[in-house]
Structure 1
Amino acid sequence: MILEEHSAERNRGITMTSIKGIIGNVLLVAFKMFVGLASNSIAIILDAVNNLTDVLSSVLTIIGTKLASKSADKEHPFGHGRIEYMTTMAIAFVILGAGIMSLKESVEKIIHPEPSVFDIPGLIIITVAIVVKVVMGRYVKAQGEKYKSDALVASGIDALFDAVITFATLISAGLVYFFDFDIQGYVGAIISLFILKAAFDILREMYNHLIGIRADDNLVREIKETIAQHPQVGGVYDLVLNSYGSGETIGAVHISLPENLTIGEIHPLTKGIAVHMYKKFGIAMTVGVYAENDPNLEVSAIRQALDQVISLYTHVVQIHAFYVRLDKKIIYYDIIFDFDEEDPYGTLEKIKAEMKIRYPDYAQFAIVDTDFSN
């Protein structure tokens, strides 16, 4: 219930912020188009077009937030949170189209220049627009951070960036007014390139979100430290986090526990960790278990031998899930290589062969694991 209320509050916050952004940008578009058409300034007109794409971005943000808030159903058991990524990609394509159009118009202005005329009121309006954009950008970015909305944060940064672009437009307009020196076509081209870069940056970020990216290092560290505080936990491994939108994260993790614990003792421990993860981080976490040998000289010697062997291989990141079944003479371990290792499975076979020389009577149950998180 608490998470549902938080989600509803988040959706309302994002929607209201987007509506305020729409109102502010519509006013800016109207003022800039008036000044741009009156002065025949391509730079100011393109700046207005850039603000018009901000309006569309805010509309798409509202639509995406509404659709993403739909509850999970039979066909989509993980919910609809990733719709926010899709709508943000749609925003990026809109910005991309505006950038291409702006670049085309700017190049034509450079090839076929037309005189521009500015007056003091026009320059004042541009200056006011800069101040408004800075205020809007700081507000939207702050709201995006508050509600953990990538779309709002991106919009806020984009608005601050727009203020810089408008400042460049003001300089070019001032050069025309005071020195009759027109570089607006070139300024428009530069603005267009910045617009295109912003579009590509958003597309790259959303592409990464959709295919899956490494979890934030600080979050990973905090999760592992929290789990390690639970009694009997000797180590935390194999943390995997899959995001399905804001507040929709599903994870899995392994912990190592003393081998003498019973299932009746392990069950409440893992359940307690899962509940702790959900309450503190809002993550639905599945907790698996590795066994740790009780202190034993023979086991320690085998581990030392394994450590000596893997020290010869520079791409080994970690050995975990190490356990020796003395009665069955089986050595268990998982090995993680960094992503520069060209043949992880071949290298594992070499490591196993080296261990076989040292412990010929032991079988080995070893697998290659993946470095999902630091």
Structure 2
Amino acid sequence: MTELLVKWFVKDKENIHDGKVRQSYGRLSGFVGIFCNVILFLLKLFAGLVTGAVSIMADAFNNLSDAASSVVTLIGFHMAGKPADPDHPFGHGRIEYLSGLLIAAAILVTGLELMKTSVDKILHPTELTFSMVSIGILVASILLKFWMAGFNFSLGKRIQSEAMRATATDSLCDCISTSAVIIGVVVSMICGKNIDGWVGALVALFVCFAGFTAARDTIQPLLGQAPDPELVAQIRESVMKKDMILGVHDLIVHDYGPGRRMISLHAEVSYKEDILEAHDLIDNIERELMDEFQCSATIHMDPIITDDTEMNQIKQQLEEMIKAENEEWKIHDFRMVRGNTHTNLIFDLVVEPQDLIRKDEIERAIKEKVHEMDNRFYAVVTVEQGFI
């Protein structure tokens, strides 16, 4: 069914990095969500009015909020697909993340309101009336919500959309919450125990959990989360397969929304290479990265000395000393400035983000260790964090 809908409503469906194609996927998800959730709201509202069960009414209004969330998805994907302009040179892709955050906020508010209603029902219970029709409606809604979860998970995985994944997670939580409502109805029918308010409270907790999960997943890229390690490895491999490239450092992946990545890195080449040939190679690598990862790429070329035996030995000695301090720390841009009375060892030290609060302390310690290696050595070290 999912493939059939995609075939009908999404043109050029494989070109997921195109803004218009992503908009089409967003419209499909939004319209399907609105249609299904409005139908579920009306059916559950009818069942809730017939039975007087607050848990069913709570579930109905949860579906209404889901329909509103689908409207937000529609608007978010439309705005995220807008092209770059002078005020937003990197495009509007992050609006998709903001729409997911708004959906999460709406889910949380709904959950809190449902909890308030359920607590009131626990304190002031009322007699319930049940029918097999209402149970049948709830069972049908579980099946439909389960399909919606799979539908949105499939679309979200296809276009790498956290907003769609959040919608799918919400649908799964709805399946669980509606199952809890059915349990409450069946217990009341069989045992005569009115646990409607308690089940309504349980439903509210699941709704709040769905909201928290959605908020957590959509806010991470807005805060600047680390790139996927697999992506980083693929970028390194793509650059390092060139014979002239000796190393890669200072790799940064900038995320400006789905399909709007920028990659920057430093590529090490021998100082003996012809500058024009090396520059041409760097240009070619940039274009290859753009084609392979559908991104913008900027590469800085770092010439390094490879045939100075003394310098290579000192660098190896320095790397072993750094590794003894912390196995996660790395050095790059190493060079030596020799003098008659002393030698400066100049390098960048890449540390973990949490180590930056000790930046001055680390710098002093490394300088002392370098001087202990040889009293002629003085370290000129720049402590920085890695971004991958």
TM-score, normalised by the number of residues in structure 1: 0.93
Which of the residues 231, 241, 248 maps onto 1:236? 248
State the aligned residue count: 373
Which of the residues 237, 240, 250 maps onto 2:262? 250
Distance 1:324 1:269, change over 3 A: farther
8 Å CA contact retained: 1:14, 1:144: no
Q: Match for residue 203 of structure 1? A: 215
> How far has the Cα of 1:330 moved from its partner?
4.4
The 3-state SS of whatever aligns with 1:47 is helix
Report whether the alignment pairs 1:189 with 2:204: no
Give the letter aligned to residue 37 of structure 1. L
The 3-state SS of whatever aligns with 2:348 is strand
Report whether the alignment pairs 1:317 with 2:329: yes
Q: Match for residue 47 of structure 2? A: 35
Which of the residues 344, 352, 358 maps onto 2:359? 344
Task: Measure the CA separation in 2 of the matches of 1:192 and 1:14.
Answer: 28
8 Å CA contact retained: 2:22, 2:81: no
The 3-state SS of whatever aligns with 1:321 is strand
Task: Measure the CA separation in 2 of the matches of 1:140 and 1:101.
Answer: 26
8 Å CA contact retained: 2:169, 2:210: no
Task: Measure the CA separation in 1 of the matches of 2:320 and 2:231.
Answer: 32
Report whether the alignment pairs 1:13 with 2:52: no
Report whether the alignment pairs 1:371 with 2:386: yes
> How far has the Cα of 1:5 moved from its partner?
7.8
Q: Which runs of 5+ in 1 are unaligned?
A: none
Which of the residues 348, 364, 372 maps onto 1:334? 348
Task: Measure the CA separation in 1 of the matches of 2:205 and 2:185.
Answer: 19
Q: Match for residue 222 of structure 1? A: 234
> How far has the Cα of 1:3 moved from its partner?
6.9
Deviates more, 1:333-342 or 1:60-69: 333-342
> How far has the Cα of 1:145 moved from its partner?
1.3
Report whether the alignment pairs 1:112 with 2:127: no
Report whether the alignment pairs 1:23 with 2:23: no
8 Å CA contact retained: 1:291, 1:323: no
Task: Measure the CA separation in 2 of the matches of 1:304 and 1:236.
Answer: 17
Q: Match for residue 354 of structure 1? A: 369
8 Å CA contact retained: 1:310, 1:316: no
Report whether the alignment pairs 1:74 with 2:86: yes
Report whether the alignment pairs 1:89 with 2:89: no
**Deviation string, structure 1 residues 31-83 (Cα, Å, up to 9, x no partner):** 00100111011111111111111111110011011111111111111111111
Give the letter aligned to residue 356 of structure 1. H
Q: Match for residue 189 of structure 2? A: 177
The 3-state SS of whatever aligns with 1:117 is coil
Task: Measure the CA separation in 2 of the matches of 1:273 and 1:304.
Answer: 29
Which of the residues 306, 309, 322 maps onto 1:294? 306
Give the letter aligned to residue 25 of structure 2. G
Give the letter aligned to residue 60 of structure 2. A
Task: Measure the CA separation in 1 of the matches of 2:17 and 2:203.
Answer: 42
Q: Match for residue 52 of structure 1? A: 64
> How far has the Cα of 1:355 moved from its partner?
1.6
8 Å CA contact retained: 2:247, 2:267: yes
Distance 1:308 1:77, change over 3 A: same
Deviates more, 1:49-58 or 1:4-13: 4-13
Deviates more, 1:337-346 or 1:100-109: 337-346
8 Å CA contact retained: 1:42, 1:184: yes
Q: Which runs of 5+ in 2 are unaligned?
A: 1-11
> How far has the Cα of 1:363 moved from its partner?
5.3
> How far has the Cα of 1:129 moved from its partner?
0.9
Report whether the alignment pairs 1:303 with 2:315: yes
> How far has the Cα of 1:4 moved from its partner?
9.3
> How far has the Cα of 1:340 moved from its partner?
4.2
Deviates more, 1:154-163 or 1:25-34: 154-163
8 Å CA contact retained: 2:290, 2:297: yes
Task: Measure the CA separation in 2 of the matches of 1:112 and 1:324.
Answer: 80
Q: Percent identity?
A: 29
> How far has the Cα of 1:327 moved from its partner?
8.6
Give the letter aligned to residue 103 of structure 1. M
- Written as runs of structure 1 = structure 2, the 5 A alignment for 1:140-179 is 140-179=152-191
Give the letter aligned to residue 337 of structure 1. V
Two-structure CA RMSD over aligned residues (Å): 2.2
**Deviation string, structure 1 residues 181-208 (Cα, Å, up to 9, x no partner):** 2212111111111211222222233332
The 3-state SS of whatever aligns with 2:266 is strand
Task: Measure the CA separation in 1 of the matches of 2:163 and 2:107.
Answer: 14
Q: Match for residue 6 of structure 2? A: none
Task: Measure the CA separation in 1 of the matches of 2:155 and 2:235.
Answer: 25
**Deviation string, structure 1 residues 60-116 (Cα, Å, up to 9, x no partner):** 011011111111111111111111122222112211211111000000010001111
Give the letter aligned to residue 17 of structure 1. S
- Written as runs of structure 1 = structure 2, the 5 A alignment for 1:129-144 is 129-144=141-156
Task: Measure the CA separation in 2 of the matches of 1:325 and 1:257.
Answer: 20
Give the letter aligned to residue 334 of structure 1. D
Task: Measure the CA separation in 1 of the matches of 2:27 and 2:159.
Answer: 11
